[in-house]
Amino acid sequence: MDKWDDTTTEGSKMEQVVLKTIPGGVEKSRITDDELKSLAKVDRERAFNSLVQRYKKPLFYHALYMLRKEEDAIDVSQEALVRAYQEERLFDEDFLIKAWLYRVTTNLCHNIMRSSRRKKKACDVLARDEEPKIEATDERIANEQTKGQLLDALDQLPEKDKSILLLRYYEDLSYKEIAETLKCKLGTVMSRLGRARQRLARSMNDAL
Amino acid sequence: MPCEKMKEKLIPFLDQALPFTEIAKVKQHLKTCPNCREIATSYGAKPDLSALDKDEHSEEFWNEFDQTLYEKIRSREQGSKISRLFSKKGMKVVSWAAAIMFAIILPASLILNGPKEEMRFPNPADQGIKFNLSPVAQHGETTHQFVSPDTGPNTPSFPTSKEFPPPLVIENVDYRTESAVGLY
């Protein structure tokens, strides 16, 4: 079997098999970054497969809420994972996998947002029209209004504010991880978060 | 606690991410400092982004996502094999190989073929042709002796620029340049 035929279900099965090589690994539902590093010493390809299973969803949704366009979010999250595969230091002891992945994803999102803003200026196309099409079930309808307001308010913010808010309050990254992701000091993270929160509050009030 | 330090603590305080001991200090400061209190109020409540779904896509979507991802990795890997050749390391290998080839092939071909003969003009003396030149240019005081192989040792003496005679002018023709010139 081709090693790359390891899709979601196969991948998770393989992850379980591989986790047996790590003490206490089987009990855990999700493999941690440190476990990925020790797994990579045994088999790099499998460690990478596990990394994909762990990060593909958070990266995709981070990109999706940044860009509000599904195709772009797929491209961005896949590109981040491809770059991770090519990164030689990925499983080094001192390498911060999570921060690195979010940094690459965020930067790619910023690039796309910048270029689409240029296009938008030329064509004056509303990004709202290109919102991801999500099947409207009964459960979702109740949340749609809040979600819509929240997304509208987030869209009003500058890119940097939007990304830092998503990293902290959607992805639950710690302040230190955000500092690593955005390559800035902890104090800068606090001040940027404060400013972003002020703007979001203002934007939410305007929406209401 | 000074206000400068408070700026770093306010967000974690509002996010309820501060240790218990720190919370008390921040609360104490906020009671006494209206400026920081105002800033804290402006930050608003902790943003609730829970309305944004975490996973709203089907398994089919994720299977397709994986397939495309691994296809991209595969194609990128093939591309990188070629580009590796032109990378710094690859170029180093290629240049070393070229240098070795040059160092081996060039001397080997020289040894096998031998040095190429130099192009030579036939020496008339070798072919039995003899010159019997008589002195020419009897214009000035100085004449030039060209010693023929018959008359003496083959050691022609060339005049220095000072000794060089003026050009022989006959009927306004400079035989040195073989072109018509004015009167000297």
| Chain B residue with Cα closest to A145 | B51
Sign of the dihedral through C-alpha B93, B98, B103, B105: positive
Look at residue A14 and tell me whether its pLDDT is greater than 90.
no
B38 touches chain A (CB under 8 A): no
- Chain B residue numbers with beta carbons less than 8 Å from the beta carbon of A4 are 70-71, 73-74
Distance from CA of A122 to the nearest CA of B (A): 30
Average model confidence (pLDDT) across chain B: 72
Percent of all residues in chain B with a pLDDT value above 70, rounded to a whole number? 53
| Chain B residue with Cα closest to A83 | B73
Q: What is the pLDDT of residue B106?
A: 78
- The arithmetic mean of pLDDT across residues A2-18, rounded, is 45
Q: Do the chains contact at A190 and B12, CB–CB below 8 Å?
A: yes
What whole-number distance in Å separates Cα of residue B170 and Cα of residue B137?
A: 11
Distance from CA of A108 to the nearest CA of B (A): 16
Confidence of residue B126 (pLDDT cuts 50, 70, 90): low
Q: Pinpoint the alpha helices (H) of B33-87.
A: 34-43, 59-85
Among A9, A150, A194, whose Cβ lies nearest the Cβ of B52?
A150
Identity (one letter) of the amino acid at B111? Answer: I
Read off the pLDDT of residues A77-102 as tens digits, 9 standing for 90 and up.
999 999 999 998 999 998 999 999 99
Identity (one letter) of the amino acid at A183? Answer: K
B67's CB contacts (< 8 A; 6+ apart) are A7
For B131-167, b where at least 16 C-beta lie within 10 A, e where not — what string? eeeeeeeeeeeeeeeeeeeeeeeeeeeeeeeeeeeee
Q: What is the pLDDT of residue A27?
A: 35
3-state SS assignment for residue B180 = strand
Q: What is the pLDDT of residue A134?
A: 46
In DSSP terms, B169 is beta-bridged to B174
| Segment (H or E) for B174 | strand B173-174
For A70-80, b where at least 16 C-beta lie within 10 A, e where not — what string? bebbbbbbbbb
Q: Do the chains contact at B69 and A186, CB–CB below 8 Å?
A: no
What whole-number distance in Å separates Cα of residue A148 and Cα of residue A68?
A: 11
Read off the pLDDT of residues B113-123 as tens digits, 9 standing for 90 and up.
766 555 666 66
Q: Taking the mean position of all CA atoms in its chain, how far away is CA B39? A: 57
Look at residue A121 and tell me whether its pLDDT is greater than 60.
no
Read off the pLDDT of residues B157-169 as tens digits, 9 standing for 90 and up.
555 555 566 655 5
Q: What is the pTM of this model?
A: 0.61
A158 touches chain B (CB under 8 A): no
Q: What is the pLDDT of residue A126?
A: 43
The answer to whether the beta carbons of residues A134 and A94 sit under 8 Å apart is no
Range of lowest pLDDT (A114-128, A187-201, B55-69): A114-128
- Top pLDDT among B124 and B16 is at B16
Read off the pLDDT of residues B25-64 as tens digits, 9 standing for 90 and up.
888 888 888 888 888 888 888 888 877 766 678 889 999 9
Q: Pinpoint the alpha helices (H) of A20-69.
A: 33-42, 44-67
- The arithmetic mean of pLDDT across residues B66-83, rounded, is 84
- The arithmetic mean of pLDDT across residues A47-54, rounded, is 92
Which class for B99: exposed (0-12), middle (13-18), buried (19 or more C-beta within 10 A)?
exposed
What whole-number distance in Å separates Cα of residue B13 and Cα of residue A196?
A: 16
B167 touches chain A (CB under 8 A): no
3-state SS assignment for residue B82 = helix
- Top pLDDT among A45 and B180 is at A45
Look at residue A123 and tell me whether its pLDDT is greater than 80.
no
Q: Do the chains contact at B66 and A151, CB–CB below 8 Å?
A: no
Which one, of A76, A20, A27, lies nearest residue A46 by Cα? A20
| Chain B residue with Cα closest to A82 | B73
The answer to whether the beta carbons of residues B60 and B67 sit under 8 Å apart is no
- Look at strands B173-174 and B169-170 and give their pairing: antiparallel
Range of lowest pLDDT (A105-109, B82-86, B96-100): B82-86
